[in-house]
Amino acid sequence: MSFIAINPATEEIVAEFDGHSPDQVDHALGVASSAFHQWKLTPVKDRAQLMVRAAELLEGEIPTVAELMTSEMGKTFNAAKGEAAKCAATMRYYAEHAEAMLADEVVETKGARSGYRFDPIGAVLAVMPWNFPLWQFIRVAAPTVMAGNVMVLKHASNVPGCAKYLEDLFNRAGFPQGVVTTLFVSHHQIETIIADPRIAAVTLTGSDKAGRSVAQLAGQNLKKAVLELGGSDPFIVASSADMDVTIPLAVTARVQNNGQACIASKRYIVVAERADEFLEKFVTAMAAVPTGDPMDPATILGPVVSRGQLEELSLQVNDAIAKGAVARTGGLPLDRKGYYFPATVLTNVPTDSRAGCEELFGPVAVVQVVDDLKAAIEFANATPWGLGGAIYATDQAEIDEAIAGLDVGMVFANAIVASMPELPFGGTKESGFGRELGEFGVREFTNVKSFYVA
């Protein structure tokens, strides 16, 4: 099996790698297992020095690796540079803070000394998507490796160059061979890898279908799993919203990464008294989004990742329109080379249409008008997903009501939902379980070992 990257802007093949055979996979897992037994004994301070070195290398290569990301999955060059810089900053963050996060916790008991510690568990398999080719892995790997574990990466098949770069980055920084390993394997090989006793746990970012499959395999083998399965995040515009702040962020929240982010706002829920103003300004701003070559610094919206994704997005939009929805702007693929779909705003979307009940992985916004904030929160929660949510308001009571009321893993007020090293990242309901980043991310793949000295 070959792993091929096709440039979404030009439809040309830009990279191709051969898949790993079962014997090659077995050898790689053996190297990773041996590396773990060495790495877990490495002092955290020494791990941190290598992590900083990897960050330095990445910082020196930002334009090169950004161009690689753009060519393989179509994100704008500016966005790709930002992603690479964020990865380096996160690596530095955990190099600085992981030791304190992993320190033994003392608990007062009747014993002379007692508490608990955080021991690494082994090799963690990371099944990663294509939409943030570096960040999705680094946000797991930086805290997990600092905790003393090693990583085995099964990346999306359409970003093989990025997958290879990640392994090479850690090796060039001086990490022992096997601390980060990239495998080019098919989906059916994942079952064997998860079952292998040298794999201690698995983390996946992807669809709910993939998550159910991996969770089942992990459960069958009694292994820890962390799942981030995307969602249909609400963007609530409350009565007190400042439209000068809200409108620019509403556009960015929908078109960032060409509309292909799990935590991108997808459902815009607006209270009735602000609906006309919001819609007029939002539609005008979405229609004006600069769309084109992702390598052009002026481009804000590039292509979606593949022809299949373009066709799927078109089917979802067409289904909604056939059932009564209105495309206030956009709605049809652009007639040009590459996989381009314009910034689109849909209103009057029936909840039983595909756009009304499915995640839209592309620059399409669904606007729903409701009576008040209470109705907005109820509508936001009436979905199987629960990843993130945003509230736009200047009234603190409205902000607090949304933070308390939204059934999600993360709530941002007057800001786009984002991942950052300081805060735990993850969802609830069908958006998955477990946490990445923050103190929870460092400890997620550890054995919390209690101790008691009489």
Q: Are residues 225 and 238 in the same domain?
A: no
Q: Across the strands, what pairs with 150?
A: 123
Q: Across the strands, what pairs with 268?
A: 235, 367
Looking at the structure of the chain, the number of domains it has is: 2
Q: Are residues 147 and 289 in the same domain?
A: no
**Structural domain containing residue 338:** 233-413
Asked if residue 115 belongs to a domain, the reply is: yes
Q: Are residues 383 and 449 in the same domain?
A: no
Q: Are residues 308 and 182 in the same domain?
A: no
Asked if residue 30 belongs to a domain, the reply is: yes
Asked if residue 203 belongs to a domain, the reply is: yes
Is residue 213 classed as helix, strand or coil in its secondary structure? helix
Report, as residue numbers or ranges, the catalytic residues: 228, 262
Q: Residue 425: which H helix or E strand, with range? A: none
Q: Across the strands, what pairs with 165?
A: none
The pTM (predicted TM-score) of the whole model is: 0.97
Asked if residue 144 belongs to a domain, the reply is: yes
CATH code: domain of residue 394: 3.40.309.10
DSSP state letters, 139-204: HHHHHHHHTT-EEEEE--TT-HHHHHHHHHHHHHTTPPTTSEEE----HHHHHHHHHSTTEEEEEE
Q: Are residues 225 and 246 in the same domain?
A: no
29-50 pLDDT, tens digit each: 999 999 999 999 999 999 999 9
Asked if residue 394 belongs to a domain, the reply is: yes
Q: Are residues 250 and 195 in the same domain?
A: no
Asked if residue 436 belongs to a domain, the reply is: yes
Q: Are residues 222 and 247 in the same domain?
A: no
Q: Are residues 326 and 383 in the same domain?
A: yes
Q: What does the pLDDT read at residue 2?
A: 86
Mean pLDDT by 10 residues, the chain (454 residues): 94 96 97 98 98 98 98 98 98 98 98 98 98 98 98 97 98 98 95 98 95 97 96 97 98 98 96 98 98 98 98 98 98 98 98 95 98 98 97 98 98 98 97 97 98 98
Q: Are residues 144 and 223 in the same domain?
A: yes
Q: What does the pLDDT read at residue 187?
A: 87
Residues whose CB is less than 8 angstroms from the CB of residue 247 and which lie 6 or more positions away in sequence, other chains included: 278, 281, 282, 285
CATH code: domain of residue 81: 3.40.605.10
Q: Are residues 152 and 295 in the same domain?
A: no
Is residue 80 classed as helix, strand or coil in its secondary structure? helix
CA 318 to chain centre: 27
Instruction: Mark 69-90 as b/e (b = at least 16 C-beta within 10 Å).
Output: bbbbbbbbbbbbbbbbebbbeb
Q: Which two tokens stand for residue 75?
A: 């994100």
46-73 pLDDT, tens digit each: 999 999 999 999 999 999 999 999 999 9
Asked if residue 420 belongs to a domain, the reply is: no
Q: Are residues 225 and 243 in the same domain?
A: no
Asked if residue 418 belongs to a domain, the reply is: no
In three-state form (DSSP H/G/I as H, E/B as E, the rest C), the secondary structure along 382-397 is CCCCCCEEEEECCCHH
Residues whose CB is less than 8 angstroms from the CB of residue 23 and which lie 6 or more positions away in sequence, other chains included: none
- Sheet containing 326-329: order of strands: 326-329, 344-347, 364-370, 265-271, 233-237, 388-392, 410-413
**34 with 177: CB under 8 angstroms?**
no
Q: Are residues 194 and 71 in the same domain?
A: yes
